[in-house]
Every structure is written in C-alpha cells, then in structure tokens.
Amino acid sequence: DVRANNFRAELSVAFERITTLERVLARRGQIELTEIEEYEPDDEEGAERAMEREGLIARVFQVLEIIGSEAKR
C-alpha cells in the first residue's frame, strides 16, 4: 500500500535525521553519544513521552486499520 510505504519512508528519514543530529553534536563536542544512551528523563518528561508515544501508537494503528479494511474490499 502506498500509505504504508510512505509511512515507512518518513519514519526512516526521521531516524536518519536523529542520528545525523546526534553525530553532528558529538563531533562539535556538544554531547557525548553515551549521554544519549544513558539519559533518563525525570518523571514529568517521562509522563509527557508516554503520552506522546501512546498517541503515536494510536495513530499508527488507526492507519493500519484503514489499510486493512480497504484491502478486504
């Protein structure tokens, strides 16, 4: 399905950009890559992340349900 392929492409680009940002900051000496791996959000940030994650998961499953229902037609 075109939408699924577009979603995969967008997600791939997002991950590439995140990795690029991490490496640029590390090369500039602004962060150590281990800081990212070892980072632990505080309770407030953790709650915000959980809400964002749940929203993203819900949107992804909504699209998958639409694709699945259209495929059955």
pLDDT in tens, 11-42: 999 999 999 999 999 999 999 999 999 999 99
Share of the chain above pLDDT 90, in %: 68
CA distance 48 to 6: 27
Is residue 67 very low, low, confident or very high in pLDDT (cuts 50, 70, 90)?
confident
pLDDT of residue 72: 80
Residue 56 has pLDDT above 80, yes or no: yes
Farthest CA pair distance, the chain: 55
Which residue, among 50, 47, 25, has the nearest Cα to 36 in the 3D structure?
25
20, 28, 32, 51, 54 from 58: Cα distances, Å: 27, 37, 33, 11, 6
Q: What is the pTM of this model?
A: 0.69
CA distance 70 to 73: 5
